[in-house]
Amino acid sequence: MRLYRNLVFATVDALGEIFNEGGYADKVIAKTLKRDKRWGSRDRGFIAETTYDIVRWKRLYAEIAEVKAPYSRENLFRLFAVWATLRGIEIPSDWKQIEPVPTRRIKGKFDELSQIRKFRESVPDWLDELGVKELGEEVWEKEIHALNQQAPVILRTNTLKTTKEKLQQELQKEGIETEFLKGYPDALQLKERTNVFQTEAFKNGLFEVQDASSQLVAQFLEVKPGMRVVDTCAGAGGKTLHLAALMENKGQLIATDIYENKLKELKRRARRAGAHNIEPRAIDSTKVVKKLYNTADRVLIDAPCSGLGVLSRNPDAKWKLRPEFIETIKQTQEEILKQYSKMVKDGGKLVYATCSVLPSENEEQVKKFLSAEEGKNFNLAKEQKILSSETGFDGFYMALLEKNK
């Protein structure tokens, strides 16, 4: 593989912004890719995938390169040199920015560190210890390995506008090959990674990009056309749009969130998707929530969480997460479950979901809620724990709670 100086420099610049300035990898990469309009899809793919790769394996590569944060530009080039060497890619000898590191030393150090999980899977000590504590050594070992793999690109067919079969044909016309996924009724998986947002099918609202595990959440809520449904932590609306499709645009779908800018994005996405029964409401006071008490047939609480189940698509989260954040978010989850469960009317149903694999954020939160005063009228109908190591998709948890009539 031949390296091009401008692509390597762009990658190193992106890494500096992510590691030293706390930039979010997806946003930094998106901005970097706009730097030169002459870059083709292969060039853009190199920058994006190399940056994500080095972010994913930061601890391992930094140990091999013998560099520490904050990383100087020279150190970032050393990280790149480790990445290239481990892939058998030769760095041109006239590139003065990259100090040559002996191949034998890099590979020897790699073999040595690969015996230790926290280096092999490139995770902070505290996270490795937490994973073992919550999931057990054997399950954590498999799970963190699975979460370090590149996430597949999964599409959710917008059934308000098309069918899975027709969508597959439309994408094929645009040169994109997909395959069906057994057990995921609306899902298509890309056979090769490509920028699907440039397709006519996307512009016409025929699909959304949504992981296969995430697609199970809306179905778990058992919505029907004509119901009154509240999506309490709607964000930009990935699951809201799925609920609208399952409701066939009939009934009322109230999408709430504390961030109004996210709801604006939801409105834009809803227009493209042709979802007309969505009513966004920003939670700017407790009145917004209280007005909904005892009114909803179905309530979805896609709770804020550590996001440990989606590390494969957000590898920089490993380095941004802190133990104290996880403790704080668990308190938030408990409070949200207590407050938002009051929206469910008698005989209604509630789904509590997270994209975390930690029992303390999942089944333990549900048990705590059911044993509290606020949960005394609810029963656990079913729950589903999804591990990335078992499915190849994101780690998720969902629990369906039924309120007594």
| Positions marked catalytic | 355
CA 283 – CA 341 distance, rounded (Å)? 15
Helix (H) or strand (E) holding 197: none
> Which residues have C-beta within 8 Å of that of residue 115, sequence separation ≥ 6?
none
Kindly state the DSSP code that residue 274 receives in the 8-state scheme: T
Residue type, position 374, single letter: E
Amino acid at 341: S
Q: Order across the sheet with 296-302: list the strands.
A: 278-282, 252-257, 228-231, 296-302, 344-354, 396-403, 378-386
Taking the C-alpha atoms of residue 124 and residue 110, their distance in angstroms, rounded to an integer, is: 17
CA distance 279 to 256: 8
Residue 207 corresponds to which tokens in the numbers above? 């699909």
Q: Which residue has the tokens 């904050």?
A: 70
Instruction: Say how many CA atoms lie within 13 Å of 82 toward its Cβ.
Output: 26
78 touches 63 (CB < 8 A): no
Between β-strands 228-231 and 252-257, what pairing exists: parallel, antiparallel or unpaired? Answer: parallel
Tokens read off for 377: 């009228």
